[in-house]
């Protein structure tokens, strides 16, 4: 039996904000560390060690999620400021995003199939490179597990945000536009938020790629939805 105030939405909300703020401080010392990874791990560890049920934390987490909607819409501001560069190379940008979406779906499906993954696991993992709300709905429509899809999507975003830039640097990929499009396509909102903290231009390009990847992946999923929904 937990204390009543643990079930107050302000508990989960405050815990998330405090640990994320601590993660921001820690990321200045360890540049590879994403604040979301720090805060997520901290919340899980605290709940396990104290025995506080996730159901008590969830109302506060849902309250915080509610405010993510306006925050996501706010990505349109830097995109508007840097949109001319995208318009100048729109065909190449859309081609890169489409290629990234196809590569993500095909490589994930083939890898899990080769490892003996179940049909449900494969369908849950295929949309891992789009934002969580889209991934969850696509997994549900094709017969995957929404909870698994949401988890894999977050892990993909964290991995992309923490390792993506180093990989691009290793491949000698330079420039705000290529970096932003690559991270946004592969690591959705989590990668975009990290880029925005350092470069408004990269963050705006990443936000565009994140949105377009959601649309492209949704279109690519139409045959899967039809096939598995018969």
Question: How far apart are alpha carbons 145 and 121 in whole angstroms?
Answer: 7
- Residue 124 belongs to a domain: yes
Question: How far apart are alpha carbons 171 and 167 in whole angstroms?
Answer: 6
pLDDT-derived band at 13 (thresholds 50, 70, 90) equals: confident
pLDDT above 70: residue 229: no
Question: How far apart are alpha carbons 16 and 47 in whole angstroms?
Answer: 12
pLDDT above 50: residue 102: yes
Which residues form the domain of 21? Answer: 4-66
What is the structure's pLDDT at 209? Answer: 93
Q: Compute the average pLDDT of residues 87-99.
A: 91
Give the angle 84-89-90 at the CA atoms, nearest 5°: 90
Residues 6+ apart with CB under 8 A from 197: 203
pLDDT above 60: residue 17: yes
Question: How far apart are alpha carbons 8 and 67 in whole angstroms?
Answer: 18
- Residue 71 belongs to a domain: no
Q: Compute the average pLDDT of residues 75-94.
A: 84
Q: What percent of the chain has pLDDT over 70?
A: 93
Instruction: With CA atoms as reference, report the closest residue to 193 among 153, 224, 161, 152.
Output: 161
- Residue 129 belongs to a domain: yes
One domain for residues 112 and 130: yes
Query: How much is the pTM?
Result: 0.79
Domain boundary among 16, 32, 66: 66
Q: How many domains does the chain have?
A: 2
Residues 6+ apart with CB under 8 A from 213: 97, 100, 101, 129, 130, 184, 185, 188
Radius of gyration of the chain (CA): 18
What is the structure's pLDDT at 5? Answer: 61
Instruction: With CA atoms as reference, report the closest residue to 192 among 84, 100, 85, 71.
Output: 71
Q: Compute the average pLDDT of residues 106-111.
A: 91
Tokens coding 127: 């949309």
- Residue 142 belongs to a domain: yes
Residues 6+ apart with CB under 8 A from 131: 153, 188, 189, 210, 214
Q: Compute the average pLDDT of residues 61-71.
A: 73
pLDDT-derived band at 230 (thresholds 50, 70, 90) equals: very low
What is the structure's pLDDT at 87? Answer: 87
One domain for residues 59 and 102: no
114-127 tens-digit pLDDT: 999 888 899 899 99
Question: How far apart are alpha carbons 34 and 27 in whole angstroms?
Answer: 6
Cα 80 from chain centre: 22
Signed CA dihedral, 111, 171, 215, 154: sign only: positive
What is the structure's pLDDT at 151? Answer: 86
């Amino acid at each position: 039996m937990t204390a009543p105030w643990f079930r107050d939405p302000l508990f989960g909300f405050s815990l998330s904000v405090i640990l994320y703020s601590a993660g921001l401080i820690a990321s200045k010392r360890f540049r590879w560390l994403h604040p979301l990874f720090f805060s997520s791990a901290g919340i899980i560890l605290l709940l396990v060690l104290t025995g506080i049920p996730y159901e008590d934390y969830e109302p506060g987490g849902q309250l915080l999620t509610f405010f993510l909607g306006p925050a996501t819409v706010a990505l349109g501001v830097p995109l508007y400021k840097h949109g001319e560069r995208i318009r100048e190379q729109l065909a190449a940008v859309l081609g890169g995003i489409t290629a990234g979406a196809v590569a993500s779906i095909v490589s994930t499906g083939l890898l899990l199939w080769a490892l003996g993954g179940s049909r449900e696991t494969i369908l849950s993992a295929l949309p891992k490179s789009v934002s969580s709300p889209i991934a969850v709905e696509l997994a549900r429509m094709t017969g995957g597990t929404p909870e698994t899809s949401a988890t894999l999507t977050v892990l993909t975003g964290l991995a992309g945000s923490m390792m993506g830039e180093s990989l691009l640097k290793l491949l000698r990929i330079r420039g705000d536009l290529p970096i932003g499009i690559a991270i946004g396509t592969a690591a959705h909102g989590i990668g975009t938020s990290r880029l925005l903290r350092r470069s408004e231009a990269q963050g705006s390009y990443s936000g565009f790629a994140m949105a377009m990847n959601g649309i492209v992946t949704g279109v690519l999923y139409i045959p899967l939805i039809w096939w598995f929904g018969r």
